[in-house]
Structure 1
Amino acid sequence: MIPHNKPTFGIEEEQAALRVIRSGWVAQGCEVEAFENEFCEFIGLPVGHAVAVASGTSALFMALWALQAQGKRVAFPVYTCSSLRHAVAMIGAIEQLVDVSPGTPNIDLQALSQTRADIAIVPHMFGLPLCISNLKDIEIIEDCAQALGASVNDTFVGLQGKLGIFSFYATKLITSGGQGGMVVSKEKALIDAIKDYRQFDCRQDKNKRFNFQMTDLQAAIGREQLYKLPNFLSRRDEIFNLYSQAGLELLDIHSEFKNYLSPVRYRAVLKTPISSTNKIIQSLISMGIKLIIPIEDYELLGDIFFNALMLSKKSVSLPIYPSLTNNEVQYIISNLNELKEYK
């Protein structure tokens, strides 16, 4: 079976993990600090402007905490991961759901501007970046869980808003061993506050904190993955282009925006007829190929959002991880092209 997704590991990750195990120190330590600093260098921030945490969800919670979101109105799209709802609920904020723009997986910015929200969480879904420079009078958290390496006007995503958050879950663009996250900001004071919160133990001030720490074992793996990220992204581009050149219609940024938006290929999302999605998935499973609906209709965070519902019913995600071979890509293409359900 060709899986829909899988992490891409090599001997380097094994050696990094072994190095930490042999050191005798596996909790948060020098590897975490090095990962934070290298992440800053990659994304274009001064050293000290990133903080590593246990997961993407905890990164989002900490970003909301840093913006003092409790009791405030927080807007986010209905077409997204449930972790946004969980983090907003945990911080004690008031959720305001927003639809996506027609035919895209990203939040409708015009609808967002009409919510009167205090804070907005803006995901760059499937690696397709969104320019948010025109949003005024609202604090922005960029959710870059699926978009590490994407850019807007030659600036990496995560730097347009107050804070940016990243996920290193097993299926993301890089992984720190299954879980992990990062918060970045151009405002050092926000990062320093999050680091203080993360350092929960052996404190004399009695302030309430929580253990969101990343381990050195995770960070060592994440460092190796970050080093490989440019090659990972290049390989994903190659696979995406093979699909496109074969005539498969994939979700992408509109051609008029390509001069200033640079996506990464986290997902290769195939546009499908509304009645054929499940038939396509089942047909390819019988051929040894795993496809998924990227966000099922039951996973939508609201029931009355037409654009999100249509996207859920008319899209299928194809395999696009770096270790996928060209022969496997051609096998997927040939089997798709033979399906009458896809025609």
Structure 2
Amino acid sequence: MEAVTGTVLVGRSFEPVRGRVVIEDGRIEAIDEVETESTDIVLPSFVNAHTHLGDSVAKEAAVGLSLEDAVAPPDSLKHRQLAAADHDDLVSAMRRTLRFMQRTGTVSCLDFRESGVAGARALREAARPTDVGPFVFGSGDPSVLDIADGYGASGANDDDFDEERAACERRGVPFAIHAGEPDATDIHPALDLEPDLLVHMVHAEPEHLERVASQSVPVAVCPRANTVLDVGRPPIRDLVDQTTVALGTDNVMLNPPSMFREMAYTAKRFDVTAREVLRMATTAGAEIAGLDCGVIAPGRRAKITVLDGNSDNLADSVDPARAVVRRATALDVDRVLG
């Protein structure tokens, strides 16, 4: 049995409780309100709701390019770099990124893995010695679902994904698709596929939001990547009002997969509260992937990040949840459990 003490951000509301989290056999046994001298801040570890970890082989390579030139399949810089990457170099680069994510409080990511079966296998290999468990959205032929956890489609304007969607339905695994990143033309076709997750939705309009709500489709937003690629600003407030919204960091070649940076950027530039952003970075991604984490509550997996609340950066913060979202950095991480 283990106890973690400090200010614990409890449940979906992240209510600050001074006390301890009791852990047994990797699960949260209890949350006790007790006196403690600990200044630590205890929060659920992050679930990054959208990544492209293969991009780790070409960090910063696409900065300054348009969306089409940077990442659009099949001939963008990203896809040329991936095609040229040696297997061992790719695995090593992805493993380094996973280690960075682990040190900065992320326990899982929902990754769109390019390169079909070989790509999914490479990510499994990269993750094996780390404590980050990627949820792999595979690509290419539906046979990738023998290895992947679901299917990740590039966009409804790129191809006909009816076969892949049907394969996911037969296997009972999620189908995710990019939509509304360059413009709105692929949003209705994406929704026609009845996806389990939409990614980006930068150009979502009221008619799309109405369908998202009626179909109960969660959305992963990636505001920093949208800014770098100059495609616009997702209507995050409107999306949060309609459905479950999770936060992702998108292409590793454009931005480091730091949920601290993504949270701070989102909280300061969009009309959302700190607790809404923290929920987007933890609970929402876990729920979308069916992971038993993302919230500190009895019975849940003890996937917990502990911050040094007495660090030079966090000391004297009057609102711990707001400080986590708007102020905390990787330097404030004391340890990551689970």
**One fold, TM greater than 0.5?**
no
**Whose strand fraction is larger, Structure 1's or Structure 2's?**
2
For normalisation by structure 1, the TM-score amounts to 0.30
